[in-house]
Amino acid sequence: MFSRRLAGVLIGAAAVIAPIAVTAPAQAASPPSYPVGTNGDSPRCDAASAKICLFAGPSILTAYSFYGTQIAHKDITNEHFRADEGAGSGQVVSTTAQAVACTTRTSSACTIWAGVNYGGNDDWLAAGQVGKLHNTLANARSISVS
């Protein structure tokens, strides 16, 4: 009787401990990636022969200054919007950018990162798309084009 009771206790304890022993540690969540693009283009970005342009306002309209480039930049914290080209001209890109255009010169996509060296949360859009920044609104630290 004692051994049967002991066996029941041991089986019950094993049933409780076993799931704990085989549970893997939690994985760190990857940073959120947010699609911001809708089909469209920016004539000013195209005219500048850029692959990606960031705009100082909430749209790609000519009322806002822009910053365009053909290559990826791991740190844009010292870049400025073009002078004398609308609202935001001369301001720091990384703390002012609100909208983006990814031209068809890009083979597949453009990504804007909240951290330097392509780290942290990001916003992305496909070639031939424009959009308002979401995760990187006024917090764009690096950009990649592919």
Does a structural domain hold residue 76? yes
Please give the share of the chain, as a percent, with pLDDT higher than 70. Answer: 79
pLDDT at 32: 86
Per the structure, how many domains does the chain have? Answer: 1
pLDDT in tens, 62-121: 899 999 999 999 999 999 999 878 999 999 999 999 999 999 999 999 999 999 999 999
CATH code at 41?
Answer: 2.60.20.10
Q: Is residue 69 part of a domain?
A: yes
Domain residues for 45?
31-145
As a whole number, the mean pLDDT across the chain is 85
Confirm whether 122 is domain-assigned. yes
89 with 75: CB under 8 angstroms?
no
